[in-house]
Structure 1
Amino acid sequence: MALYAFDGTWNEDEEDEARDSNVVRFRDAYQGHIYYLEGVGTRLGFIGKVLGGVAGAGGRLRIREAIEAVERHFAAGDRMIDIVGFSRGSALAVHFANEVKENFPDVRIRFLGIWDLVASFGIPGNPINIGWHLTLPDNVEKCCHALALDERRENFRPTRIKRADGSVPPPEILREVWFRGVHSDVGGGQSVGLSHISLCWMIRQAEAAGLSFDTQKLASYASQCDPTAPISKNFDPQLDPARRIKATDLIHHTVSARPDAGRLVHNNPPPGNPIETA
């Protein structure tokens, strides 16, 4: 078995662990073979950073590298993989799952874990991502998606998980849950106390699917969860309205209403939504 880990835009393994994404933290605790791909915008210096950040350039190269790794593991007899991703890395993770289905129909995707899927390749903020397959293929046995309640930047609109026919997979296959914080508060890199909440939730879901983790790492992660940690600010002059929460959406039990503070407006979920207790 092997983990394919797709990091978010400009995200990579940092010297300062507080700045790591949850993809890196998940990878560090995972027990098995690991293939980690740093986020778009981390290669080729300044030009690569600009093109990767603005248009997601470099994504297809990472998919090709991951597929080549699957080929090597497949030749060695491996027929089961796990996948995680954050931000644009989540989009790459879902596309990669579709590529695996097309090229390796005998490979089982046991777990697909993604943090705040943002699909924006080409024109920034454009929801049309030509050539990218961002629907959930039927070779994925379990998919979990952590969504950021308080993100409002125009170019960070979330993509909800659906099948190719537009249907929503049943709850035993798909679990999407809202967490307090902006994009990197949930996916990692900013508020450590908040990001570890969605990390620990994701790992618990993965354990239930059969994945194994380093218990010392898990204890360390759990000790850093803090539902009262500050929410980071949306630094963008063009802000969207608050993200829409459907009446049937799951809200994590650590989410509590917070008062607005000046220009900092919190997206407090409406009462009555089902609560995710895990």
Structure 2
Amino acid sequence: MARNLVLCLDGTAGQVRGDADSNCVRLYDLLDLTDETAQIAYYDPGVGTFASPGAWTPVARGLSRLGGLIYGAGMRQNLGEAYAWLMQNWRPGDRIFVFGFSRGAFTARALAGMLRLIGLMRPGSENQLQYAVAKYARRGGEGRIPWDEIHRFSRLFAQQVDGRSTIPIEYLGLWDTVKALGVVRVAPDWPYTRQLPNAQHIRHAISIDERRRPFREYEVRTKAPETLEEAWFAGIHSDVGGTFADDPKLSTIALKWVLEGALDHGLRVDAKRTARAFEGFSPAHAAGAAHRNSAVWSLLVPRRRPIPPGVRVHASVRDRMSATDYRPRLPADATWVDDDWATLRPS
């Protein structure tokens, strides 16, 4: 029996917080995991959450976590751990769902890229994993891929399906991808994180109002536009991806949109928990609190995100503009999407 394999990759210093959970945690909590023959799941808390395994002293653990927060140290490790989970669990016919927020969204895209470039190594090849991640996560993007070396490696170690090593992703759900590897803006150029050619269906929610310079938008530029639904949402980074405990209305809108796309393609959720999660959901959510970045960030040359022509904007933004004095700089040819966003669908 084919299964759903679900990975939820959280943002920087993400973890289960209770009243300030990210959308990755909230979605993971909705999953129906009662039947392991139908669906299993994996959650990663993101870079800068915990110290590296080799950090034994309090000072070393603190520096390790700080390295994750500032420089994004640990992203390769998180990528490798998610990939290893797939190695251990994937069988031909299984469907892969990957969700990510912030740097976790970039890790999700990198996982897709690694499955495109190298494929999925067979169980028993774990000792090659560090090498595989190093071969994938290198500078230069698609323009500097050592194809002969990659093809030989994949032929030796990757699983083959119909003579191909590339593994498709059924659904990729993303909240405001951040490409930079830390507060210090070091932006990797890992292969296929922009095009995502092996993702069959993609929904990407992008923040309109984020101002932190290192948190630049990272749009998808696929050659197969029919696979992509990318929409801009009101609020800053965590208004889209979650973690604001005082008023999560805006992030709940983005959660619902990404979740519904996954439900359309076979994700299994617990109906009772899902009903509770969206209890009270209404058009009034569009006027929920929009938060601000901390005062420290205002001293670091804020950057307004440019919204390019022809983009899709979530219809909740239009409703927010009608209900409040919110006036984002939208292009004249923007398209409104998800007009019935406030309607709850049966899960």
Length-normalised TM-score, structure 2 = 0.71
CA RMSD, aligned part only?
A: 2.1
Distance 1:273 1:77, change over 3 A: closer
Q: Give yes or no for the alignment of 1:259 onto 2:319.
A: no
Paired letter, 2:15: E
The equivalent position to 2:305 in structure 1, one of 243, 257, 260, is 243
Whether 1:273 aligns to 2:280 is no
The 5 A counterparts of 1:83-232 are: 83-101=98-116, 102-104=118-120, 105=165, 107-121=167-181, 124-127=184-187, 129-131=188-190, 133-163=192-222, 167=223, 169-170=224-225, 172-190=226-244, 191-223=247-279, 225=281, 226-232=285-291
- Structure 1 Cα separation of the partners of residues 235 and 5 of structure 2: 30
Distance in 1, matches of 2:257 and 2:189, equals: 32
How far 1:115 sits from its partner (Å)?
0.4
With over 3 angstroms needed to count, the CA separation of the structure-2 counterparts of 1:103 and 1:159, relative to structure 1, is: same
Contact 2:5 2:96 in 1 (8 A): yes
**Cα distance in 2 for residues equivalent to 1:239 and 1:276:** 32
- In 1, distance between residues paired with 2:304 and 2:259? 28
User: How is 1:31-110 mapped onto 2 (pairs within 5 angstroms)?
Assistant: 31=32, 32-44=39-51, 45-74=61-90, 79-101=94-116, 102-104=118-120, 105=165, 107-110=167-170
Tell me how far apart the structure 2 counterparts of residues 144 and 39 of structure 1 sit (CA, whole Å): 20
Question: In 2 relative to 1, CA 132–107 (structure 1 residues): closer, same or farther, beyond 3 Å?
Answer: closer
CA-CA distance at 1:10 after TM superposition: 0.7
Q: SS of the counterpart of 1:177?
A: strand
Aligned partners of 2:31, 2:70: CA distance in 1, in Å?
A: 31
Q: 1:123 to 1:13 in 2, by over 3 A?
A: closer
Is the CA contact (8 Å cut-off) linking 2:5 and 2:94 kept in structure 1?
A: no
SS in 2 for 1:223: coil
1:123: Cα distance to partner? 7.6
3-state SS of the aligned residue for 2:84?
helix
Question: How many equivalent residue pairs?
Answer: 264
Partner of 1:10: 13
Judged with a 3 Å threshold, the aligned counterparts in structure 2 of structure 1 residues 180 and 245 are, in CA distance, closer, same or farther, namely: same
CA contact (8 A) 2:6 2:42 kept: yes
How many Å separate the matches in 1 of 2:260 and 2:26?
14
Tell me the amino acid that sits aligned with residue 259 of structure 2: I
Percent identity (aligned): 28
Q: CA offsets, 1:84-128, max 9 Å, x none?
A: 00000000000001112222336331100010000012682244x
Deviations 1:181-206 (A, max 9, x none): 10001001014111100000111111
Task: Tell me what 1:263 maps to.
Answer: none
What whole-Å deviation, never above 9, does each CA across 1:4-27 have from its counterpart, x for those lacking one? 11100011111x2x3100011111
* Residue 273 of structure 1, CA deviation: 1.8
- For residues 48 and 267 of structure 1, the distance between their equivalents in structure 2, rounded to whole angstroms, comes to 38
More helix by share: 2
- Which blocks of at least 5 consecutive residues in structure 2 are unaligned? 33-38, 52-60, 121-164, 342-347
Q: Deviations over 1:201-231 (max 9, x none)?
A: 1111111122221222322232354211111
| Structure 1 CA distance for aligned equivalents of residues 276 and 304 of structure 2 | 33
TM-score, with length taken from structure 1:
0.87
Match of 1:23, SS? helix
